[in-house]
Amino acid sequence: MSLASVERHYSRGDLIDAIRAGLQQSGKDPDRLTPADLAPIDEFHIRGRQATFELADKVQPKAANRVLDIGCGLGGASRVLAATYGCRVTGIDLTEAYCRTAATLARWVGLADRVEYRHANALALPFEDGAFEIAWTQHAAMNIPDKAQAYREAHRVLKAGGSFTLYDVLQGDGGPVHFPVPWAREPSISHLVTPQEWKGLLGGAGFEVVSWRDTTAAGRDWFAEMNRRMQESGPPPVSFALLSGPEIAEMARNQQRNLEENRIALVEAVCRRL
């Protein structure tokens, strides 16, 4: 697997124009937006903004905190954290187009002074030791084969006692994953580990797990509700289809099937840097 393969999977033309057009079609003025207006597009993980708020509530960032969002995507979580808690957030992502788009969306919602985005690799973070109080990641590790190195890097850039907050897709006990899924069209760029392996990797990197919650059942319920809304109202003009194209329908069906058949598990964890 190459890093370029992962970036190609996520890159899709000019996202800004597509997002602007979708917002206007849904009755939103791109010049008068709030972070919540972008929720249908910029929270590219199962359970969306609800999962972000639940995870943030566990760590309660302070305004003085510096937060690193690893695998930030379009920056939805970083803007939620900055707007809700007043902290400063730096997002990094392997997809350069996502970083450019995230910066534009931050300007649209008036948060450019509290968030920044850098095109970077989680395996070699471009920051000094102890630069952050909180490291944060949601649905990013599925594309990272060397999770041990990624977690060592998160440990390095955190201050002693800092929090590492994670929400990820893990390997379930129901068998191999059905592809395509949102993070991979085929198996070569998908690298899932079991919950037990995940705990071991975090501990091996120097973290103490202080909170652990399986949210697989909540993920199944979320998909059921999303399907109900789609049947009632059809697809919204601003959705994940802008990120994954027409394949998103098959990806979503497979994602739901993987959850229902226990082929994947959803787990959130809060760790402390030792």
The whole-number pLDDT of residue 2 equals 62
Question: CATH for 3-123+134-273?
Answer: 3.40.50.150
Under-70 pLDDT residues of the chain = 1-2, 13, 235
Residue type, 269: A
Domain spans of the chain, in order of start: 3-123+134-273
Compute φ and ψ for 77, nearest 5 degrees.
-65, -40
The whole-number pLDDT of residue 168 equals 97
The whole-number pLDDT of residue 12 equals 72
3-state secondary structure of 83: helix
Q: What is the pTM of this model?
A: 0.94
Would you say 207 and 273 are in contact if contact means Cβ atoms under 8 Å apart? Answer: yes
Would you say 140 and 168 are in contact if contact means Cβ atoms under 8 Å apart? Answer: yes
Structure tokens at 251: 């990806």
Beta bridge partners of 138: 167
The whole-number pLDDT of residue 153 equals 98
The whole-number pLDDT of residue 245 equals 77
The whole-number pLDDT of residue 1 equals 47
Integer Cα distance of 132 and 91 in angstroms: 12
Structure tokens at 232: 């009632």
**Distant-in-sequence, close-in-space partners of 54: CB < 8 Å, separation ≥ 6:** 268
The whole-number pLDDT of residue 130 equals 98
